[in-house]
Structure 1
């Protein structure tokens, strides 16, 4: 059972995926009673692991689902408001890895409108609090992200809420993975004491700068994977055109090991000719790099034992419990895990709604990068 009692009330979940945010919400004292997730494997994962759902996960596109239906599925009576709304609309239009596509840079991805489905439910369900998660590239000052981000903040304001955005790196909160994400906390206008995002509990180097408290180092991949029993999986061997190169890549490095600039005697690649995660290998002495939902055949991070990561290892690197059960094929599980909010981070963010406070509205209206 995830969460033993609803200390803070009842939550509804949009774009639920496998339930990373939901797991965190229940650990923070909420019961998730209703969920919307179009992917049937992810919905089955939710139903397998969450005991407080009032009825089955709604497995249709949220575009087709009314707010009344969502509330009814959670057992709400007419006029009742949820205590918390959570959700992470799909991030594809704003993902940093997609900016090489011109049509995404120009903001032409139609799925960007899913942000508006979140604000629609926010406006109509009128929860007492909300948390919205998305990729931190949504805050970038470019033609794809900035208009969408400004529209999102404007719609939150129009719905009657104060948005409190901030970019957090999961590694700074005890997650063994460097995973920056935007979290927007929200409370109704008129709230006199605003919640603040949680302070970092861990610190270290990320993207050539120091983050978090340096007296408590980031949790490393080696720490959480030590002693873990993970049976070999079909397809974990990295083969094909470049698979034979992986064993010589040092832990924590990538294809740049095979460049003239790094002094390799037989260069295989030009400098910065591949995406940075190409042949990327975990280091046991650092948090994992961001783990993707749909990695290509040579996209890491790979294990330092020169293979793909196993499901039990992915769960540890995302802070899912060892007994959390994922439903679906191996590729489906990869997508579910890779799209998840680490539950430990989610619990700390949602718990902050009832913890430390900030009364500075000006600080609450600009996402920190």
Structure 2
């Protein structure tokens, strides 16, 4: 077992993937008490440090892991991503980014890397860390790694890539940036995508060898409906409207350009507003802090269960949780899909640690065929018919009420992403 130090461990998304590839989490550092409780519940053998990384000396981390400087095989971690997320752009027009106090976690990761000097490291963050023209966080990390090499004599040569997890078999659209390096200067080559959508054309000459995207049905089609819908029903103003939306659609179905009734203006709400999973498509990103009408929701017009969200995140089966719905959703929504961690851990073993592994991926979902037909949507209830009318579309990026400083219930996402494959 390769000895691993885990930072910003969350519920264990990265750790579970590395675990399946033969790595042992010797210590996990996490600030959130609910995540720490969940780790202890599911992995009682892990040493857990509950605290802020900037208040925990590196010597304490090594001591808890029973390791000396240079003895760890891996350092892994995903510093909290809020300063670099896409939501920061449209909520505030831009973001403080490095001036945001939460960005101090990047310096914390670099400090532990310098002080522990593992054989290899992996750092994960949201794709926004590497946005063109807004990549100061990425440049801070790359510059910090060069400084470490000068200070302690290591030779980390970091490689980085923005990865669409769905292109590697994860049944969920989630984009993350990964930075990987080895202490002895070996370069790391990221594995190439293995999956693609079935529609459209690709310029990749090797795309024909790829598998179709894994779907939400592949992930959780074998799970029975919960015995109780307590806590899973959609309440509030829009709960009774969700059953009128077809699988794979959102509120745009009920706009002048959709196939339903004209209840809303085009792109005047969040993309995830009344968003429903399709059995034939990957899931959209599981949200960490959704509102009452923010999906993705199950095709049976309800919230997803803990087990279903774990499947979409490709966590190993058998996990348990003893926290409330809000804390559970936040932990899972902030996590890294464990399958992408397993894939990268295997590549690290082969390229950087001289220990390739040839067995099949353990967290890859199976294909589940046949796929049941979509559920027929219901008619729009009478209570919403008063909304039928001629609704204007959103005027465009930077022109909405929120951008002009006017009050609005929803600030429209300026960069809406749809599954075009």
Give TM-score scaled by structure 1 length: 0.87
Which residue among 54, 57, 73 is the counterpart of 2:64? 73
**How much has 1:175 moved relative to structure 2?**
1.3
8 A Cα contact 1:129 1:187, kept in partner:
yes
Which residue among 297, 307, 313 is the counterpart of 1:312? 307
8 A Cα contact 1:135 1:181, kept in partner:
yes
The corresponding residue for 1:18 is 11
Which residue among 125, 146, 166 is the counterpart of 1:157? 146
User: Pairwise mapping of residues 11-90 of structure 1 onto structure 2 (< 5 A)?
Assistant: 11-50=4-43, 52-53=45-46, 55=47, 57-77=48-68, 79-90=69-80
Distance verdict in 2 for CA 1:210–1:31, change over 3 Å: farther
User: Pairwise mapping of residues 243-254 of structure 1 onto structure 2 (< 5 A)?
Assistant: 243-254=239-250
Distance verdict in 2 for CA 1:331–1:338, change over 3 Å: same
**How much has 1:49 moved relative to structure 2?**
2.3
2:294 matches 1:299: yes
| Distance across 2 between alignment mates of 1:185 and 1:34 | 20
**How much has 1:12 moved relative to structure 2?**
0.4
2:262 matches 1:272: no
User: Pairwise mapping of residues 203-242 of structure 1 onto structure 2 (< 5 A)?
Assistant: 203-204=196-197, 213-214=207-208, 215-231=210-226, 232-242=228-238
8 A Cα contact 1:195 1:354, kept in partner:
no
The corresponding residue for 2:408 is none
Q: 3-state SS of the aligned residue for 2:329?
A: helix
CA displacement, residues 1-58 of structure 1 (integer Å, 9 cap, x when unaligned):
xxxxx0xx200000000001011111111110011111112112212222542x3x11
Which residue among 189, 196, 200 is the counterpart of 1:196? 189
Q: 3-state SS of the aligned residue for 2:238?
A: helix
Q: 3-state SS of the aligned residue for 2:50?
A: coil
**How much has 1:109 moved relative to structure 2?**
2.2
Q: 3-state SS of the aligned residue for 1:181?
A: strand
**How much has 1:258 moved relative to structure 2?**
1.0
| Distance across 2 between alignment mates of 1:169 and 1:277 | 19
CA displacement, residues 257-296 of structure 1 (integer Å, 9 cap, x when unaligned):
11112254x4221111111111111010011011111111
Structure 1 stretches of 4+ with a deviation exceeding 4 A read 205-212
| Distance across 2 between alignment mates of 1:308 and 1:350 | 32
**How much has 1:98 moved relative to structure 2?**
2.3
The corresponding residue for 2:117 is 126
Count the aligned residue pairs: 342
Q: 3-state SS of the aligned residue for 2:90?
A: coil
| Distance across 2 between alignment mates of 1:100 and 1:66 | 36
Gaps of 5+ in 1: 1-5, 358-369
| Distance across 1 between alignment mates of 2:299 and 2:158 | 41
8 A Cα contact 2:250 2:276, kept in partner:
yes
Distance verdict in 2 for CA 1:251–1:263, change over 3 Å: closer
2:160 matches 1:170: no
8 A Cα contact 2:198 2:212, kept in partner:
no
| Distance across 2 between alignment mates of 1:103 and 1:70 | 38
2:136 matches 1:147: yes
CA displacement, residues 214-254 of structure 1 (integer Å, 9 cap, x when unaligned):
54111111122222135234221112111221111111111
Q: 3-state SS of the aligned residue for 1:58?
A: strand
| Distance across 1 between alignment mates of 2:304 and 2:203 | 27
Based on CA coordinates, which of the two structures has the bigger radius of gyration? Answer: 2
**How much has 1:205 moved relative to structure 2?**
6.3
**How much has 1:356 moved relative to structure 2?**
5.4
**How much has 1:92 moved relative to structure 2?**
0.6
Gaps of 5+ in 2: 150-155, 353-421
CA RMSD between the two structures: 2.2
